């Protein structure tokens, strides 16, 4: 299999789906002539023309609304937000229209639209551009919420999201675009709602998504050096959530640490903890641990930015608490 970047995998997914289905088009700020703010749409304007790769004004509410309308009449828009922080400008279109139109129209209108773009903290972009908003969107019935952690997952999940007849919020890790992974050259799809074991283990379950999967993999390596084998479970989609893969792991290990880059209050990790407690109570040998970002807006200074976000040392410390070693 070829080893390609997360960025290239997303680009391949969109290119292949646009070649397969003429109703698929891309719309967003600088997606065309500038090739995308993170170069995810590189080459697509030249391949498909400005009719299907549409540069927009800086007007998220406007072009998100155009996308919703286009989806209602049979097209399959991919709406790129330069960063998911800017999706807050368009949240009424996403939450009040895209998520609810199928139900409110008694099934007359499907809304097959993908809202995609970078999400979560980057590097020194300060508080307004460093928010992890997945719990906002996972709260809303009618939306599907996807957070791939690897290039393999990014390609397979995006292709599935584009083909889905429901609105999908597809949140890409802002610091993951340059990471690489093996990706098959032949076509493949990954179903939404199906998690993945990124590393097997027997002593403790680490549940994480997006960039935190990589932090947990590094933590698992550090723990392995001390004789502790951590299993890393990546749900890949938060809505629908694969509780089965999470709970099967916890039933095996007896311990669970949930790691997310979002804030602790009403973070999605709390929902995961509830599901684990509800389904695995008799199998838990220790309280569930959560590792989150600090409950503050993101600082700009690099040392403080690192301190606020979950680090390997924080995950290791949480695992040792769960194992009663700290």
What residues act catalytically? 60, 129
Annotate 123-188 with DSSP letters as a single string.
SS--GGG----HHHHHTSTT-EEE---SHHHHHHHHHHHHH-SS-EEEEEETT-TT-EEEE-SS--
Sign of the Cα pseudo-torsion (246, 247, 248, 254, in order): positive
Q: Rounded CA gap, 112 and 116, in Å?
A: 13
Q: Which of 278, 77, 276, 217 is nearest to 161 (CA)?
A: 77
Helix/strand/coil (H, E, C) string of 203-227?
CEEEEECCHHHHHHHHHHHHHHCCC
Q: Rounded CA gap, 313 and 169, in Å?
A: 31
* Summary count for the chain: helices (H), strands (E): 12, 14
């Amino acid at each position: 299999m070829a080893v390609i970047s997360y960025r290239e995998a997303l680009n391949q997914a969109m290119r292949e789906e646009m070649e397969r289905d003429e109703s698929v088009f891309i719309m967003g700020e600088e997606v065309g002539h500038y090739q995308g703010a993170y170069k995810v749409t590189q080459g697509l304007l030249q391949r498909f023309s400005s009719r299907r790769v549409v540069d927009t004004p800086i007007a998220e509410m406007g072009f998100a609304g155009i996308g919703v309308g286009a989806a209602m009449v049979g097209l399959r828009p991919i709406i790129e937000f330069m960063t998911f922080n800017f999706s807050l400008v368009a949240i009424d279109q996403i939450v009040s229209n895209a998520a609810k139109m199928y139900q409110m129209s008694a099934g007359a209108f499907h809304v097959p639209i993908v809202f995609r773009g970078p999400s979560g903290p980057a590097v020194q972009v300060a508080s307004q551009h460093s928010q992890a908003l997945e719990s906002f969107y996972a709260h809303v019935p009618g939306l599907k919420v996807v957070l791939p952690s690897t290039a393999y997952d990014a390609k397979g999940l995006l292709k599935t999201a584009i083909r889905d007849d429901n609105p999908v919020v597809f949140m890409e890790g802002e610091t993951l675009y340059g990471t690489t992974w093996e990706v098959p050259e032949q076509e493949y799809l990954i179903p939404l709602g199906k998690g993945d074991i990124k590393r097997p283990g027997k002593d403790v379950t680490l549940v994480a998504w997006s960039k935190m999967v990589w932090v947990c993999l590094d933590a698992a390596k550090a723990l392995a050096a001390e004789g502790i084998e951590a299993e890393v479970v990546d749900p890949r989609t938060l809505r629908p959530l694969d509780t089965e893969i999470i709970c099967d792991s916890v039933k095996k290990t007896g311990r669970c640490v949930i790691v997310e880059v979002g804030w602790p209050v009403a973070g999605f990790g709390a929902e995961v903890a509830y599901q684990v407690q509800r389904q695995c109570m008799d199998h838990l040998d220790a309280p569930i641990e959560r590792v989150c970002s600090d409950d503050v807006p993101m600082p700009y200074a690099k040392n403080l930015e690192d301190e606020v976000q979950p680090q390997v040392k924080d995950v290791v410390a949480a695992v040792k608490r769960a194992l009663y070693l700290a």
